[in-house]
Amino acid sequence: MTASISDILLAWYDGHARALPWRNPPGAPLPDDPAWPYRVWLSEVMLQQTTVAAVKPYFAKFLNIWPNVEALAAASDDDVMAAWAGLGYYSRARNLLKCARAVAGRGGFPSTEAELRKLPGLGDYTAAAVAAIAFGSRAVVVDANVERVAARLFAIDEPLPKGRKAIRAAAETITPQHRAGDFAQGLMDLGSQICTTRAPRCLLCPLAACCKGRETGEPERLPVKPAKKAVPERRGTAFWITRYAGDGGGADVWLVTRPPSGMLGGMRALPDDGWSAQADGSGTAPLAGDARMIGAVRHGFTHAHLTLQVVAITAQGPPEGEGQWWPVDQIAEAGLATLFAKAAGLALAEG
């Protein structure tokens, strides 16, 4: 049964693999290119909790600016965080830089799953994915798509997260020695295209005859997920602080760089009142003066929903704390996180 599952899945992948810019064609030899592991690793980090469609332009942009791990390692934190802006989960960008610098310092990526796991920011999934896809090593790669396929294939009904141990053990039994990278990507594609969260297309599934979840008549209920917790509502205030150069010059807006850790760490942002995913804002404006409420924006984070009020202030002097004046007509180039890009958009629309 084990061999037949892997053989069937690989045959399906050969004919149905998605054409993605970071992928090697099914069954092809590994590229003879020193930057190949870099591209695999970069794509895997970007794809964490993010859609393929969202990642494609960012992947192309990063490769254009930093074509190899040495170039990325030499980049400034500000440039990388600005290039990442809009992709979300910004701790990934901070870990990306840490890992790139560690890899450049050791002279390249290690080829084994165990050694890859020692790099900053590489968890079990990413280490296994890079080992299998970039180096052809046998590694058990379990992302959300693979988790769903394996849970249904073996009818594993132990609720998550405890059920992940059994799911990984089941995936281990069907991972082949050869073409482990293609096999992992095949399972990902199967989960993305056929074995979907809702309304799985069982009639088109190459593994339907082997699927115990399908035999139960309720494959859609697997994997069993815990009840969702209520997401807390938070409130905060962002400040759109501007100055005017005079003599026909344009306007500047005051931007800050958020602390390196915590929410949106290391990103350029509008100054705010100290809100976080754990608490509402309670601070004050970094500058005294006439304040004008211009509206609010909503944004969803993993652990909270935020309503951010936007207050406009015309500066009479430099605001408190560190920051920089940025031309308003170039605000799109500042690399603001999505939340603050929304706030800036509101301020610009309100004039």
CA 45 – CA 320 distance, rounded (Å): 36
Please, are residues 34 and 108 in contact by the beta-carbon 8 Å criterion? yes
Dihedral of the alpha carbons of 267, 273, 274, 276, in degrees to the nearest 10: -80
CA 73 – CA 96 distance, rounded (Å): 9
Q: Is 198 helix (H, G, I), strand (E, B) or coil?
A: coil
- Identify the H or E element spanning 19: none
Structure tokens at 150: 């394996």
Where residue 321 falls (left for φ over 0; alpha for ψ -120 to 50; beta otherwise) is left
Going by C-beta distance under 8 Å and a sequence separation of 6 or more, which residues neighbour residue 16? 189, 193
Active site residue 350: no
Dihedral of the alpha carbons of 142, 147, 149, 151, in degrees to the nearest 10: 130
Among 44, 70, 158, 172, the active-site one is 44
Please, are residues 117 and 140 in contact by the beta-carbon 8 Å criterion? no
Cβ count within 10 A of residue 248: 5
The set of catalytic residues is 44
